[in-house]
């Protein structure tokens, strides 16, 4: 690896986490590793064999586009997935292309989760339901009142285990949901993964917000294009 690309890799993996890595340097690094990039405004699509593809957000400073800390961390996780780090700079060998990998969209709520597994042009839809406390006919306000009274509702580990098993089957995952604090199922899942399955965290490429109880086909297509790349022929199976 050339000296300039090696320095860029060192900056991405630096501790403490740095910001200000230039977009052009990242593009040069990806080409050196055998990957490709595509710049779209303030977003950069990066792709590597085996690791697939993802998008990172850029910031503008002076005449240059740069990575903030969050984007640098996301890029670091992406490179780790491909087996790249400052001590291993070998060119990534050809593997499963991004459009052949298993990409998972989880639309989360406390009652159930719509799971969409994307393989090429195919989409598999499943509904994962909570069967413990979170599956009961009890709204968040009632649970919050019970928490205040000192009777904190136990975590539904069975439901969280279902979600972690779904994530394990995927190469890249996007979490979709809404709410704040205890009402945000995304945060419950992330905390659970950090404690019980930290190796699965790196598969999550984005956590985004969307209201509504279900994802419509148009919303899923837009989300998939934005996060996983352009999928013009993607279609959902007929609703049951």
Mind listing the pLDDT tens digit for each residue in 26-76? 999 888 888 888 888 888 888 887 677 888 888 876 567 888 888 888 888
Q: Identify the residue with better confidence: 10 or 94.
A: 10
Distance CA 119, CA 116 (A): 10
* pLDDT tens per residue, range 106-127: 888 888 888 888 877 777 888 8
How confident is the model over 131-153, as pLDDT tens digits? Answer: 765 544 444 444 444 444 444 55
To which H or E segment does residue 194 belong?
helix 185-196
DSSP-derived 3-state class of residue 192 = helix
At residue 205, the pLDDT reads: 82
In order of start, what are the domains of the chain with their CATH numbers? 3-81 (no CATH), 98-228 (3.30.420.60)
**DSSP assignment, residue 154?**
P
HEC profile for 88-144? ECCCCCCCCCHHHCEEEEEEECCCEEEEEEEECCEEEEEEEECCCHHHCCCCHHHHH
């Amino acid at each position: 690896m050339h000296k300039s690309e090696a320095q860029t890799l060192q900056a991405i993996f630096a501790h403490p986490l740095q910001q200000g890595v230039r977009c052009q340097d990242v593009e040069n690094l990806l080409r050196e590793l055998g990957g490709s990039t595509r710049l779209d405004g303030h977003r950069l699509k990066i792709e590597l064999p085996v690791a697939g593809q993802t998008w990172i957000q850029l910031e503008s400073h002076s005449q240059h586009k740069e990575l903030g800390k969050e984007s640098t961390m996301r890029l670091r996780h992406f490179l780790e997935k491909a087996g790249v780090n400052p001590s291993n700079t070998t060119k990534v060998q050809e593997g499963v292309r991004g459009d052949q990998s298993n990409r998972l969209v989880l639309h989360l709520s406390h009652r159930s989760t719509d799971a969409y597994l994307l393989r090429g042009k195919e989409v598999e839809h499943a509904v994962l339901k909570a069967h413990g406390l979170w599956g009961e006919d009890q709204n968040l306000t009632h649970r919050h009142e019970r928490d205040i009274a000192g009777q904190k509702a136990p975590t539904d580990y069975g439901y969280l285990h279902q979600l972690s098993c779904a994530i394990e089957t995927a190469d890249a995952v996007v979490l979709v949901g809404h709410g704040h604090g205890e009402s945000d199922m995304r945060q419950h899942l992330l905390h659970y993964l950090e404690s019980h399955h930290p190796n699965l965290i790196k598969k999550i490429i984005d956590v985004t917000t969307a209201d509504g109880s279900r994802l419509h086909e148009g919303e899923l297509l837009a989300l998939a294009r934005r996060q996983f790349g352009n999928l013009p022929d993607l279609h959902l199976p007929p609703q049951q």
